Amino acid sequence: MLFIKKYSVLVLSMLFLVSCNKQIESIHPESQISLSGIMGSMSGIEETAVANYSQLALMQGNWHNLSEFRGNTVSSVETDDNQGDAYNYTQNPNSTVNGTFWQNAYSLIVTVDYTLEGAQAYLAGSGALTLDSTQKETLLHTEGEMYFMRALTYFHLVRLYGRPYYQAPFTNPGIMIKNTPDPTYIPGRSTVQACYAQIVSDLDSAVICMSSIDLHSNVWASKEAAWALLSRVYLYEGGSYASPDANANTLAINYADSVISSTKFKLLTPRASFDTLYNNQNGNPEMIFTTENQDGFLTNTTAGFYAVAVTGTTLATGPYTVAPSFWKSFDTLTDYRTDFIRSSQGTQMVAKYVTGMAPNFSASTAPTAYLRLGEIYLNRAEAYFKMGQTSACLSDLNVIRTRAGLQPLAGISGQSLQDSLVSERRKELCFEADASFDYFRNGLPMTRLAGDYQSTDFTIQPTDNKVVLPLPESEILSNPKLTQNPM
């Protein structure tokens, strides 16, 4: 993995000190000293940025647990704290997974703040006088990457701990906004609206900083990645199906247009090429932003939820399998997306993340698809629908259907088209950490049928307290400014 290979001992030490499950106010003074020294050179700033990418990659397993498992694509009998709380909607403020994700997310935000502060100070100081124009643009691009990373992390957090945007965003509490590395500044919760405004502001800054040059492949942030995330953020701001917001949906369409018209990305076709979607060797033209887990580094821990490598060529099912009703919703004879699901031990196994799995390891070298072109078409299709533009909606929806080997839809509108949008998004983005959010943000209940969940039907309404996670109890105790979500 490129960015692991670039670690220096100093950066590794800094990352350990800052991100090993510490409360914000307890970050060690020596880590601040180390960071101050690193920020004294362009190479040090860039290496710190690289370390932040690695921290994001290490968080992906817990992120997947807290998001995908709260939807209706998987089935499990897991009940322990390490895996089952999110799946069972057990509102446990002492959950290990919940607490670890919160702490690691804010540790990442703090190190991103340090990197941003360092890059800005260097560009404004005498050090910049030694840089040529290309080096200045490169360092500015690094600054933009950090804005993107902070926005992505805030977005993860506010979706987990803040109510859906259409539900009183100006009064509902979101998450802490901490845009300074100062360890003495410990904020309370901002409103959901303020959190989204911060995310948009960071992404706007990211676009500006990364517009001059195109530096990296899809395993690094880019202006197109910022546009893609803006498309998703505005879609979440775009209201429910019953009460859409025209301005936000227009912006979701505009940013999706920017990504699609850039021609930098393309949907993988034909089927043989589509099957390589979750193998990012040498880059992948459909991925907009992803982690890179290559060269033997088994860092994609999501794989271990779904599969166990028995031998170098044999896989067995993990603790989570494909929900039976979800599997039956596919046209299994023609839908290419069923290639990511394998029959094993009498059930269906998720195979999106099994690339490079090795015996005795519960991880793989598969990339994590944070943003890809397939989603952008679906973002635009949904926003078109909410704007009453049925023909444009169908056109984008059919791009995804025909790529999957299905017949295009024609002559449908209203509830039928809405149902098709929900169904296609569920299938196209299955097991990519969107499963629960796409129901709740649209004012829809999330239902697991009896055959999927402990022999009983299970439904969470979009207004239920369980839609959002409780804040970790340890954070409530250490920060009196925080208020707990109703449970």
Q: Is 335 exposed, middle or buried (0-12, 13-18, 19+ CB in 10 A)?
A: middle
Give residue-wise pLDDT tens across range 374-422: 999 999 999 999 999 999 999 999 999 999 999 999 999 999 999 999 9
Cα(152)–Cα(478) distance, rounded to whole angstroms? 25
Give the tokens for residue 360: 């005795």
Amino acid in position 274: F
- What's the whole-model pTM score? 0.92
SS3 label, residue 228: helix
As a whole number, mean pLDDT of residues 246-269 equals 96
Question: What does the mean pLDDT of the chain come to?
Answer: 88
Three-state SS letters, 284-325: CCCEEEECCCCCCCCCECCHHHHEEECCCCCEEECCEEECHH
At 345 the pLDDT is 83
Question: What is the arithmetic mean of pLDDT over 155-167?
Answer: 98
Do strands 446-448 and 287-290 pair parallel, antiparallel, or not at all (unpaired)? unpaired
pLDDT at 31 over 50: no
44-83 pLDDT tens trace: 899 999 999 989 988 999 999 999 999 999 998 766 666 7
Closest of 60, 5, 8, 70 to residue 290, by C-alpha: 60
Alpha carbon distances (Å) from 327 to 204, 276, 297, 342, 427: 39, 21, 31, 10, 9
Structure token pair of residue 452: 């999927």
127/20: higher pLDDT: 127
Q: Read off the pLDDT of residues 210-252 as tens digits, 9 standing for 90 and up.
A: 998 887 688 899 999 999 999 999 999 999 999 999 999 999 9
What's the average model confidence in pLDDT over 438-442? 98
- Per-residue confidence at 18, pLDDT binned at 50, 70, 90? very low
> Among 14-18, 76-80, 132-136, 476-480, which stretch is predicted with the lowest mean pLDDT?
14-18
Q: How far is CA 97 from CA 60, 62, 80, 176, in A?
A: 11, 6, 11, 19
Least confident of 90-104, 272-286, 470-484: 272-286
Res. 258: pLDDT tops 60? yes
d(CA 294, CA 232): 28
Task: Say whether pLDDT at 2 is over 50.
Answer: no
* CB-based contacts of 480, cutoff 8 Å, min separation 6: none
Which pLDDT score, from 0 to 100, does residue 216 have?
A: 66
Q: Give the residue-averaged pLDDT of 459-477.
A: 97
What tens digit of pLDDT does each residue of 422-433 get? 999 999 999 999
More confident residue, 284 or 167: 167
Question: Would the pLDDT of 1 be above 50?
Answer: no
Average pLDDT over residues 268-278: 86
- The rounded distance, in Å, linking the Cα atoms of 177 and 113 is 11
pLDDT at 5: 31
Q: What is the pLDDT of residue 275?
A: 79
Residue given tokens 């005498």 in the structure block: 126
Q: Which domains are delineated in the chain?
A: 2-215+468-478 (1.25.40.390), 223-273+369-431 (1.25.40.10), 293-366 (no CATH)
What backbone torsions phi and psi does residue 387 show, to the nearest 5 degrees?
-90, 0
Q: What is the pLDDT of residues 305-355, one digit of tens each?
A: 999 888 877 888 999 999 999 999 999 889 999 999 999 888 999 999 988
- Helix 223-237 to helix 246-261 angle (10° resolution) is 160
Say if CB 121 and CB 40 are below 8 A apart.
no
- Under a CB-based contact definition with an 8 Å cutoff, are residues 152 and 195 in contact? no
With pLDDT > 90 as the criterion, what percentage of the chain qualifies? Answer: 69
Exposure string over 440-460, b if 16+ CB within 10 A, otherwise e: bbbbbebebbeebbeeeeeeb
Provide the 3-class DSSP secondary structure of residue 447.
strand
- The answer to whether 33 touches 46, Cβ cutoff 8 Å, is no
In angstroms, the CA 38 to CA 18 distance is 14
